Amino acid sequence: MDKLFADAVQVLERNWTGNLTIPAKTLYPHQWSWDSCFISIGNSHVDTDRAIKELECLFAAQWKNGMIPSIVFDKKAKTYFPSADFYEIERSENAPKDLGTSGMTQPPMHAIACYYVYKNAQDKAKAAEFLKKAYPRLKKFHRYLATYRDPEGSGTITILHPWESGMDNSPLWDEPLSKIDAKDLPEFERLDTKAVNGASDTIPKDEEYNKFIYLIELMKKHNYDERKMYANFPFKIKDVLFTSIFYVANKFLREIANIIGEDPKEMGTWISKTEKNFYKYFIKDQKEFGVSEENLFYDYDLVQREWIRKKTVASFIPIYTGLMTKEDSQNLVKWIRHSHFCGNDGFCHVPTIPSTDTNEPYFHKSNYWRGPIWVNTNWMIWLGLLKYGYEEEAEAIRSGVFELVKSHGFREYYNPKTGEGLGGKDFSWTSSLVMDMIKRNRKETQMDEGIL
Ligand code: 9WN
C-alpha cells in the first residue's frame, strides 16, 4: 500500500502546474471542475496548501450568476478541443472578463472537497480561514443550481449538455440526442482522437461528438442565458448523479456553515426539497422500487417527458446520498452485486462497477462511459456502501480498484472484462481517489458520510 500511495502522489506531482492539477497530459491540459475536487480530496491527505490553491484557482473562475464552469482554460495549451475561443463566453455578461472558461458546469463536488480539506488538515486554523473564504462561493454555486437549474423548485437538478453530467457519452443520452438534428455545424477538428493515438473505439463516435458541439453552438446562440435556454432547449434532463452529489454537497455545506459559525438554514431547505422529490422524479413506480432492474433510479427527460431507463452506474449513485431507507438500500445493493455489474461471479476481471450493464446491447468494453470502469463512480458507491453498513461489498470494490491500478496503472478507465487500462495515462482523479481509499479510516468515514 505504501508503494501504491507513493506512486499516486507522484502522478499528482507530475500533473501539477503550480496552480492546479490537470486531469492528464495532452488529452486534458486545462483545469476541470469536478476533477479538481477529487484531486483536492486526495491532496488533502498530503498537502493542504496545494489542495487549497487548486480549489481557489477554480473558484476564481466562478461566473457572476454563481456557476462554476466545467473547464478553466490554460490559453497556452493547444492539445484540447473545444478551446476557450470556441466557447465565446464574452456573449454572457455573467462570464469572467479575464479568464477563458467553458460555458457549462459539472457535478458540484466542491463543498465535499472543501470539507475534507479542513477535516484532513493538520493546521485547522489555516483550513478554517480557507473555509470562510470558500463558503460564499459554494453557497452562490448551490443557489445557482437551486434556481437556474431547478426552476421547478424540486431539489433535483437539470443538465443542459451531456458533458455537464461528467459522463459524456453514456447510453443515457442516446435517446435524447437521437431527437436532435446537428445542423449548420462550424468546421472543427477533434483533438481527442490524436491524444489517444487513434484508439477511436475508446472515445465517443463522431455522430455523438457533433451533437456535443451542436449543443454548445446553441448555448452560444442563447448567450448562455439559462432562463432562455430553459424555455426551449432540446436537451434538458433531470440527472440522478448530479442531483445525488448536490444533495450530499448540501449536507457538507451545512456542516461547513456550522464549523465557521454561519447560518445553515438555506441548505436545510435545499436538502428537504431533494428528500421530498428525489423518488418522485427518478423512479417510475415507487411501490415497485428495486423489484426489477426496470424500477431503479433513472434520469428524467424533461423534453420527452419520460424516464431514461438505460442500465448504467448512475442508477446506483443514490446509495451515496443516504436518503434511502435501509430496506430500499437492500434492494439497490442487490442490483449493485448483480453479475451484469461485475458483482457476484467471475464474469468480470474484478468486482468493480462498470459504467454500463455488461449484458446490454449498448455495453462496449472499451468505449469511454459506455462500459468501462471509472474510479470516481466506484469511489462514490464504496462510500455509499459503507454508509449503509455493507462493509463486505464496499471492501470488494476497494480491493478491485487497487487491483486495477496495481496491474494496469493509474488510467482514466478500465476494460471490465480484462482490466486493461484505457484512455489517459497518469490520470489524476484515479490517483487521488486511490490515495483517499488507502488513507481513510473506515469508522470515521461512516461518521462523516453517515451523520452529516
Ligand atoms: C468534457 C476531464 C473530463 C472529465 C469528464 C470526462 C471527460 C471532457 C471531454 O474528461 O470530459 O468535459 O473532453 O471528454 O467525461 O468527466 O471531467 O477529466
Q: Please give the distance, rounded to the nearest whole angstrom, from the Cα atom of residue 165 to the centre of ligand 1.
A: 9
E strands present in 27-73? 31-32, 71-72
Catalytic residues: 168, 412
User: Whose alpha carbon is nearest atom 5 of ligand 1?
Assistant: 166
First to last CA, the chain: 29
pTM passes above 0.95: yes
Atom number, ligand 1, closest to the C-alpha of residue 204: 14
Q: To test ligand 1's pocket by mutation, which of 12, 25, 28 has the most ligand atoms within 8 angstroms of CB?
A: 28
Residuewise pLDDT in 10s, the chain (452 residues): 999 999 999 999 999 999 999 999 999 999 999 999 999 999 999 999 999 999 999 999 999 999 999 999 999 999 999 999 999 999 999 999 999 999 999 999 999 999 999 999 999 999 999 999 999 999 999 999 999 999 999 999 999 999 999 999 999 999 999 999 998 888 888 788 888 877 888 888 888 899 999 999 999 999 999 999 999 999 999 999 999 999 999 999 999 999 999 999 999 999 999 999 999 999 998 888 988 888 999 999 999 999 999 999 999 999 999 999 999 999 999 999 988 888 766 578 888 999 999 999 999 999 999 999 999 999 999 999 999 999 999 999 999 999 999 999 999 999 999 999 999 999 999 999 999 999 998 777 877 776 55
Atom of ligand 1 nearest to the CA of 424: 18
Closest ligand 1 atom to Cα of 427: 18
Q: Which of 6, 59, 55 is nearest to 14 (CA)?
A: 6
Report which ligand 1 atom has the smallest distance to the Cα of 71.
12
Cell of residue 282, nine digits: 427518478
Beta strands in 116-208 (DSSP E): 158-159
User: Who's near 11: CB < 8 A, 6+ residues apart?
Assistant: 410, 426, 427, 428, 430, 431
Decide if 83 contacts 58 (C-beta within 8 A).
Answer: no
C-alpha of residue 163 to centroid of ligand 1, in Å: 7
Q: Ligand 1 mean position to 80 CA, how many Å?
A: 11
The Cα–Cα gap between 234 and 237 comes to 10
Dist. CA 9 → ligand 1 center (Å): 21
Nearest CA to ligand 1 atom 18: 23
Residues having CB within 6 Å of any atom of ligand 1: 23, 28, 32, 34-35, 70, 163, 166, 168
Question: Which residue, 277, 276, 278, 307, is CA-closest to 293?
Answer: 307
Cα–ligand 1 centroid distance for 291 (angstroms): 34
> Are the CB atoms for 323 and 247 separated by under 8 Å?
yes
